């Protein structure tokens, strides 16, 4: 029986593509989850590029019904009415910027967290088929994940009790990883790091870490530092270093270690 991938309502398309009227309920639910005060719907509409006359008409048609007014406001925004395009169009980034300009920073932060969670889940789901087929030694992986706080002792016990069926052990473990990522997206990186500590899972961990870095470490610069062979006391697989190709004379030789620094 295959493990189900996440059915999180915050699909990546909600954050990476121009929004359409078909996503009205998704946007509305997203704002509710982020704690946006519906009473500020009129100001939100103005900030998003809708005209005051249009918003006044909405209020007149639905007097006292704040929820309906917000719904109609978002509907007009998604249909790119008035000056919406001049404000960046109907996109997640425009919505986030509008909240920040209204000093709704808590809601904007939660909105950004929803985006990060959706990106992390998308990465996990992309690699899920290979994980469900190739993840080796799931019990040992689960033990280390429990030590890292990614899964609970109860999950570890469930993985162990699924023995001797490795596919079943994988299923239980991967289902728990999805839940963990939905609660804290950065646990995907911890998962990748743990995988890299097992020879049979290094490739799996490396590609997940690569995709994570590409999605979340855009503000970091990658540099290479040459470390002499004599100074390398750990195994190449555990450090993530590689041996360079033959180099011309007077070029420092050794292994490269990749370091990320903020810029």
Contact 208, 181 (CB under 8 A): no
Q: What is the pLDDT of residue 11?
A: 59
Query: Which is it for the CA torsion 99, 104, 107, 113, positive or negative?
Result: positive
Give CA–CA dist 55/130, Å, rounded.
Answer: 50
Q: What is the pLDDT of residue 115?
A: 87
Strand intervals (E) in 122-253: 220-227
Q: What is the pLDDT of residue 24?
A: 93
167 exposure class (CB count in 10 Å sphere: 0-12, 13-18, 19+): middle
pTM > 0.75: no
Give CA–CA dist 120/139, Å, rounded.
Answer: 23
Q: What is the pLDDT of residue 216?
A: 84
Residue appearing with tokens 């996440």: 6
Q: Give the distance from CA 198 to its chain's centroid.
A: 24
What number does CATH give the domain 18-90? 1.10.533
223 - beta bridge partners? 259
Ranges of each domain in the chain: 18-90, 121-216, 220-262
Chunked mean pLDDT (size 10), the chain, 263 residues: 46 73 91 92 95 96 94 95 92 92 93 89 93 93 94 93 88 94 92 94 94 77 42 39 43 43 43
Give CA–CA dist 247/141, Å, rounded.
Answer: 38
Peptide bond into 86 cis (omega under 30): no
List the structure tokens of 182: 């939905």
Give CA–CA dist 155/175, Å, rounded.
Answer: 10
Q: What is the pLDDT of residue 12?
A: 61
H/E stretch holding 94 reads: helix 92-101
Residue appearing with tokens 């360079």: 244
């Amino acid at each position: 029986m295959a493990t189900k991938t996440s059915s999180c309502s915050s699909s990546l398309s909600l954050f990476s593509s121009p929004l359409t009227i078909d996503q009205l309920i998704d946007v509305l639910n997203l704002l509710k989850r982020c704690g946006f005060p519906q009473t500020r719907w009129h100001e939100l509409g103005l900030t998003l590029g809708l005209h005051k006359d249009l918003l006044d008409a909405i209020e007149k048609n639905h007097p006292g019904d704040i929820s309906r007014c917000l719904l109609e406001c978002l509907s007009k925004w998604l249909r790119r009415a008035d000056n919406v395009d001049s404000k960046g169009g109907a996109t997640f980034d425009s919505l986030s910027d509008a909240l920040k300009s209204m000093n709704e920073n808590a809601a904007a932060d939660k909105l950004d967290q929803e985006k990060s969670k959706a990106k992390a889940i998308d990465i996990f789901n992309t690699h899920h088929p290979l994980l469900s087929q190739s993840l080796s030694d799931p019990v040992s992986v689960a033990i280390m994940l429990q030590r890292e706080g990614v899964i609970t002792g109860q999950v570890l016990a469930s993985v162990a009790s699924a023995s001797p069926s490795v596919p079943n052990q994988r299923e239980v473990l991967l289902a728990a990883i999805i839940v963990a990522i939905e609660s804290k997206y950065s646990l995907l990186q911890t998962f990748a790091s743990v995988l890299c500590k097992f020879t049979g899972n290094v490739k799996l961990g490396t590609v997940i870490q690569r995709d994570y870095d590409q999605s979340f470490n855009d503000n970091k610069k990658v540099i290479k530092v040459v470390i002499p062979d004599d100074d390398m006391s750990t195994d190449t697989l555990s450090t993530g270093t590689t041996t360079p190709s033959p180099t011309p004379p007077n070029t420092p030789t050794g292994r490269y270690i990749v370091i990320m620094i903020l810029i």
